[in-house]
Amino acid sequence: MSAVVDRMTRVVVQGLTGRQATWSSQDMGAYGTRLVAGVVPGKGGQIHLGIPLFDRVDDAVRATGANAALAYVPASVAAHAVVEALEAGLPLVIYPGDGLPIHDALRLRNLALSVGSSFVGPNTPGVISPGESKLGFMPSYCFTRGSLGVVTKSGSLSYEVCLRLTQAGIGQSTVIGIGGDPIKGTTMREALALLHRDPETSAILVLGEIGGVDEYDACAYAQEPDAKPLGAFLVGRTAPRGRKLGHAGALIDSDRSGFEAKVAALELAHVPVAATLAEVVPIAAQLCAGGQHR
Amino acid sequence: MAQLTEHLSKGLLERFKVPIGTGELVNSSASARAAAARAASPVAVKAQIPVGSRGRAGAIIRAESPMDAGAAFDIVTGIRMDGLQAHEARIEPWQRILDELYMAVSFDSTLQAPVLLFNPFGGADLESHPESLRIMAIPVDHEVSFAYVREHADLSGLASAATDSLATIARDLIHAFFALEARMIELNPLGQLEDGEWIALDARIVLDDNALFRHPDLQGLVGAMSPRRAEDIVRETTRLEFVPLDGSIAVISGGAGMTMAVMDLIADRGASAACFLDCSADVTPRGYRAALDLVLSIPRITSILVSVFGGLTRVDRVASTFIDLLAGTPVELPLTFRLMGTNLQEADDILASAGLDNHHVLEAAVEAAVRSGQQSREGSS
């Protein structure tokens, strides 16, 4: 059992018949992800990509035993879709889309916490356990099976870094995209806890950026006595203060959310921080070899 | 993130009974004089720019007479802050203040919750007293009442009459925060007048762009606001995330994290990026057309780097889109491609058939873009 998803994960795709959902579902199916149902209101009873469609998530769960949902729906109706999936009792719901209103993110986070489910997103490519299953649209060839867990605020940066790791022979156990929004279904702290408990993860790489305070969770984790070896790479060193860069949370609005403060805090917590992209692979290799500078 | 001007912010807060005092919006020195004559002198003449720290930048002036208010209008609307210049000013009676506080409602990333922020040191003193900031997590499962704020917010050190007034204001501010789906509402300072009443001397609301579809009235306010940041206008019309920067290498990119990574790499090579431009929200020909037009509108650029690591974005489509665009609009500047990710092989073939290279290694692409930028600058000088 991997940290979040594995071969046993049975996925219902909300909005399966959409253009991007169709493309991504074919891609996930080819990767080996078990797609058991689609939910598209008004299309219940039909078949798409060989997958049965249902009007409602609870119908899909009853009929197929789905245990995870991936919501490929527009941001304006995302809250409704995620609430439906959580209320159907699914233990894992992923919303990869961007543009989710922050007050919706807050409600969804709190609902997931209250029903004891995991909500991942918004604004993330999803979650992949290489060789097992992927719930999301990350390019498969960037990833290979291994023991390095990765938590990332940025999807695109995780592709770049994981491709380099894969080419260097450093495989990944689970890559969790937590997204770059300020209110998250799964935070850095929660994602690190999942990887900490995962027996297949022996070391952890955090991909961070300016804005927010998520990277301080990595500092706190690294200082726990039984922490797994942890390294980090951050982007946005050249970002101007006070301007939002793409991600809703990528905004330097205090000294603490800036690049230098985060790097300094990580170094103080003895977390090796790659100074450039090229340094990520050697640091990851060291982490996986069990060695961390202390 | 739509940050509203003080005047718009106060107008919205008035609906929620947050005390904002009186004020009038003027757009000329003549109307400033008239407004100052209607209010009792002295007055405050305040430039309406959606940025903080206007007082320190000289964009708020005390005018002793209507005549002075007219002159002050010209001064405050001549000041440029963050690249923005006011077209309008708000004229308010100049208040004698006994005490100044800071109060805000915002999201706290650590708590993953909305919070009420309160600091007994407000106004210009706020930044020198971060240790005095008090935080109350706002419950989201029930309506926040006066009694709740009175019980849970740390308003200690204040007279009980003041505590009651402030708890009422805090409650109303929290209601406004949820009703408007705001990212942040800040009153700094919240001032106590000689009669004991509290009013927001300044107010700042940051709305959530993503929630505006549910609030057509707010969308109208934001759309009509002036001045606005270039990036807000771009985002509204194109869905591109654009922030102008001061370098010369234009980056057309996909994904916020990779765009920042590319900016950092450009700096590592001694150059700097001309913009942050993340096109991932609109990877259609229309989106890339807008992106290309945007970077070509920056006068000092010497080189363009197209860097997309596609997941959901299929990079073969990016390649063919750019070839079509370049056929329609020949670009004189050197153009470097770094396309990776989904459908890479097809993208390589498409670029190659047009005689263009695709750099697979990011560092090599950045190096090529910076070098070709230097050459194009030398060539043109």
| β-strand partners of A48 | A51
User: So what's the pLDDT on residue A291?
Assistant: 55
pLDDT over threshold 80, residue A109: yes
Query: Is residue B223 assigned to a domain?
Result: no
Using alpha carbons, select from A105, A272, A130 the residue that is nearest to residue A186. A105
Q: Are residues A17 and A147 in the same domain?
A: no
Query: Is residue A254 assigned to a domain?
Result: yes
* Cβ of residue B113 closer than 8 Å to a chain A Cβ: yes
Q: Are residues A60 and A180 in the same domain?
A: no
In angstroms, the CA B278 to CA A236 distance is 14
Using alpha carbons, select from B339, B337, B342, B338 the residue that is nearest to residue B314. B342
User: So what's the pLDDT on residue B155?
Assistant: 87
Q: Are residues A115 and A149 in the same domain?
A: no
User: So what's the pLDDT on residue B381?
Assistant: 56
CA A244 remoteness from chain centre: 21
Residue A181's φ and ψ, nearest 5 degrees, are -85, 155
Among the three residues A70, A91, A120, which one is the final residue of a domain in this structure? Answer: A120
User: So what's the pLDDT on residue A293?
Assistant: 43
Exposed (0-12), middle (13-18) or buried (19+): which is A195, by Cβ within 10 Å?
A: buried
Chain A partners within 8 Å of B362 (Cβ): 160, 277
- State both tokens at A137: 């649209």
- For residue B276, give how far its alpha carbon lies from the nearest alpha carbon of chain A (Å): 7
| B229, B252 contact by CB (below 8 A) | no
In angstroms, the CA B346 to CA B322 distance is 14
In angstroms, the CA A281 to CA A290 distance is 14
Using alpha carbons, select from A171, A177, A181, A234 the residue that is nearest to residue A203. A171
Q: Are residues A208 and A266 in the same domain?
A: yes
Number of folded domains that form chain A: 2
Q: Are residues A31 and A144 in the same domain?
A: no
Mean pLDDT of A188-205: 98
Q: Tell me which DSSP letter residue A116 carries.
A: T
Residue to substitute from A103, A128, A154, interface B, most B β-carbons within 10 A: A103
CA A241 remoteness from chain centre: 27
- Residue pointed to by tokens 């890559």: A175
Amino acid letter, residue B67: M
Query: Is residue A176 assigned to a domain?
Result: yes
B259: alpha, beta or left? (left if phi > 0; alpha if psi -120 to 50):
alpha
Which H or E run contains B95? Answer: none
Q: Are residues A113 and A148 in the same domain?
A: no
**ipTM score for this prediction:** 0.95
Using alpha carbons, select from A285, A56, A28, A125 the residue that is nearest to residue B258. A125
Query: Is residue B237 assigned to a domain?
Result: yes
| β-strand partners of A94 | A70, A120
User: So what's the pLDDT on residue B140?
Assistant: 86
Between β-strands A118-120 and A92-94, what pairing exists: parallel, antiparallel or unpaired?
parallel
User: So what's the pLDDT on residue B83?
Assistant: 85
Query: Is residue B76 assigned to a domain?
Result: no
Q: If DSSP codes are grouped into helix, strand and coil, which group holds residue A127?
A: strand
Query: Is residue A56 assigned to a domain?
Result: yes
Chain A partners within 8 Å of B266 (Cβ): 238
In angstroms, the CA A120 to CA B376 distance is 46
Query: Which residue of A24, A101, A180 is in closest CB contact with B211?
Result: A101
* Cα-based distances in Å from B55 to A167, B58, B101, B133, B201: 55, 5, 16, 22, 12
Q: What is the pLDDT of residues A246-261, one digit of tens each?
A: 887 888 888 899 999 9
Cβ–Cβ below 8 Å for B280 and A157: no
Query: Is residue B373 assigned to a domain?
Result: yes
- For residue B67, give how far its alpha carbon lies from the nearest alpha carbon of chain A (Å): 36
* Cα-based distances in Å from A110 to A46, A151, A185, B153: 34, 21, 8, 22
In angstroms, the CA A198 to CA A192 distance is 10
Query: Is residue B342 assigned to a domain?
Result: yes
Q: Are residues A94 and A161 in the same domain?
A: no
Work out the mean pLDDT of chain A and round it to a whole number. 95
Burial B349-375 (b: 16+ CB within 10 A, else e): ebbeeeebebbeebeebbbbbbebbee
Number of folded domains that form chain B: 1
Q: Are residues A101 and A150 in the same domain?
A: no
Query: pLDDT tens per residue, chain B (381 residues)?
Result: 789 999 999 999 999 999 999 999 999 999 999 999 999 889 999 999 998 889 888 999 999 999 999 999 999 999 999 889 999 999 999 999 999 999 999 999 999 999 999 999 988 888 888 889 999 999 987 789 999 999 999 888 887 888 999 999 999 999 999 999 999 999 999 999 999 999 999 999 999 999 999 999 999 999 889 888 888 888 888 889 999 999 999 999 999 999 999 999 999 999 999 999 999 988 999 999 999 999 999 999 999 999 999 988 899 999 999 999 999 988 999 999 999 999 999 999 999 999 999 999 999 999 999 999 999 888 765
User: So what's the pLDDT on residue A280?
Assistant: 98
Q: Are residues A98 and A210 in the same domain?
A: no
* Cβ of residue A231 closer than 8 Å to a chain B Cβ: no
> What's the domain range around B239?
230-380
User: So what's the pLDDT on residue B312?
Assistant: 84
What's the pTM value of the predicted model, to 2 decimals?
0.94
Burial A118-129 (b: 16+ CB within 10 A, else e): bbbbbbbbbbbb
Query: Is residue B52 assigned to a domain?
Result: no
Q: Tell me which DSSP letter residue B206 carries.
A: E
Query: Is residue A3 assigned to a domain?
Result: no
Query: Is residue A281 assigned to a domain?
Result: yes
* Cβ of residue B139 closer than 8 Å to a chain A Cβ: no
Query: Is residue A131 assigned to a domain?
Result: no
Whether a cis peptide bond, with omega within 30° of 0, leads into B42 is yes
> What's the domain range around A154?
138-288
In angstroms, the CA A134 to CA B376 distance is 44
Chain A partners within 8 Å of B208 (Cβ): 101-103
Q: Are residues A181 and A64 in the same domain?
A: no
* Cα-based distances in Å from B283 to B62, B106, B215: 50, 32, 27
- Residue pointed to by tokens 């509204």: B236
Q: Are residues A116 and A244 in the same domain?
A: no
In angstroms, the CA B295 to CA B274 distance is 8
CB atoms within 10 A of CB A19: 8
Query: Is residue B286 assigned to a domain?
Result: yes
Query: Is residue A294 assigned to a domain?
Result: no
B314: domain CATH number is 3.40.50.261
Query: Is residue A172 assigned to a domain?
Result: yes
Amino acid letter, residue B252: I
Q: Are residues A65 and A178 in the same domain?
A: no
CA A228 remoteness from chain centre: 19
